[in-house]
């Protein structure tokens, strides 16, 4: 991958705060990016790429604490010129983020949500007893590690999960790069020919493996929405639920697909999922409660966008 630590040609007299859009009362109701990551994917990947690049090409000693402190300092100094930040690490993150914001502006509140999400991801990896858990994972997901470092990282994760007594499938899931938030990057998109197939043909090629089917369907649905093919998306959905009505992820994917296009429709898919859950006999009461709790959280996010 590219070393962007030496690409400091951006005007460092600019402050991030000078590039953002005016705040939007509707957007200010969003409390976090939970289930909204796809809408802010470019910004999240931008920050992680700066972290992975700096770690791989400049300083192998940076820790998650360093990242957290840098993110917090940038967040609290939006009006500060990029060149005035304390360290080259902070300058790099701020500069690359400024380039992204200049190309695709967002509000101050949205930018704060993005930065807070990075901090939350760091905290969510606290179960890994490694002061570089987030840094290494970012470098691993974005292919910034050497072959030796990849081996060491995968071995470390396997040992940790084994010590915790979790099934090996948890290791496979954690190390699946397709399950990271880079899933919609160009290199991970489905082949263009797939989108020329009709609904019946798509149903025939959905992988039998549960994890592969999940990834395939998520990509297919979201890429159709990204290209504005909502009529085709609806036809596929109708065909799919005829055969797999109790496959709950399809309702989540459809809701995500409509989130920016039509939040009312996005809400209707979550409502439908909640109804379907009640009809599934082989789900325990606890499993139903967990699913309903997650879907209810997403409903609350959608409600903030509607009100």
Render pLDDT for 257-286 as a digit per residue (tens, 0 to 9): 898 788 889 889 999 999 999 898 887 888
Distance (Å, rounded) from C-alpha 251 to C-alpha 240? 11
Render pLDDT for 82-131 as a digit per residue (tens, 0 to 9): 999 989 999 999 999 999 999 999 999 999 999 999 999 999 888 888 99
Q: What is the pLDDT of residue 173?
A: 58
Rounded to an integer, the average pLDDT of 130-149 is: 93
Token couple for 220: 């297919």
Q: What is the pLDDT of residue 39?
A: 76
Does residue 179 have a pLDDT over 50?
A: no
* Of the candidate ranges 1-10, 204-213, 276-285, the one whose mean pLDDT is the lowest: 1-10
Average pLDDT, the chain: 84
Render pLDDT for 12-33 as a digit per residue (tens, 0 to 9): 889 999 999 998 777 777 788 8
Q: What is the pLDDT of residue 78?
A: 94
Render pLDDT for 57-81 as a digit per residue (tens, 0 to 9): 999 999 999 999 999 999 999 999 9
Distance (Å, rounded) from C-alpha 139 to C-alpha 244? 37
Q: Kindly list the domain boundaries of the chain, sorted by start residue.
A: 16-178, 189-306
* Of the candidate ranges 5-9, 238-242, 268-272, the one whose mean pLDDT is the lowest: 5-9
CATH class of the domain at 189-306: mainly alpha
Q: What is the pLDDT of residue 302?
A: 74
């Amino acid at each position: 991958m590219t070393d962007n630590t030496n690409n400091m040609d951006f005007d460092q007299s600019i402050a991030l705060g000078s590039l953002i859009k005016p705040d939007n009362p509707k957007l200010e109701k969003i409390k976090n990016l939970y289930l909204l990551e796809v809408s802010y994917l470019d910004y999240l990947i931008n920050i992680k790429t700066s972290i992975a690049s700096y770690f791989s090409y400049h300083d192998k000693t940076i820790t998650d604490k360093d990242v957290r402190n840098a993110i917090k300092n940038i967040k609290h100094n939006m009006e500060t010129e990029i060149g005035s930040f304390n360290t080259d690490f902070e300058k790099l993150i701020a500069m690359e983020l400024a380039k992204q914001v200049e190309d695709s502006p967002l509000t101050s509140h949205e930018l704060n949500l993005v930065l807070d999400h990075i901090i939350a991801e760091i905290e969510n990896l606290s179960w890994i007893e490694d002061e570089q858990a987030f840094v290494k994972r970012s470098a691993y997901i974005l292919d910034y590690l050497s072959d030796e470092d990849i081996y060491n990282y995968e071995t470390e994760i396997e040992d940790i999960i084994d010590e915790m007594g979790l099934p090996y499938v948890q290791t496979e899931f954690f190390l699946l790069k397709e399950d990271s938030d880079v899933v919609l990057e160009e290199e991970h998109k489905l082949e263009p020919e797939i989108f020329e197939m009709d609904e019946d043909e798509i149903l025939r090629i959905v992988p039998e493996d549960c994890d592969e089917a999940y990834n395939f369907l998520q990509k297919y649905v979201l890429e159709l929405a990204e290209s504005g093919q909502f009529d085709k998306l609806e036809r596929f959905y109708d065909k799919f639920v005829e055969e797999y009505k109790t496959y709950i992820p399809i309702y989540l994917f459809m809701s995500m697909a409509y989130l920016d296009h039509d939040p009312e429709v996005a809400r209707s898919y979550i409502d439908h999922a909640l109804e379907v859950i009640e009809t599934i006999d082989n789900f325990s009461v606890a499993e139903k409660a967990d699913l309903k709790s997650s879907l209810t959280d997403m409903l609350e996010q959608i409600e903030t966008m509607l009100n």
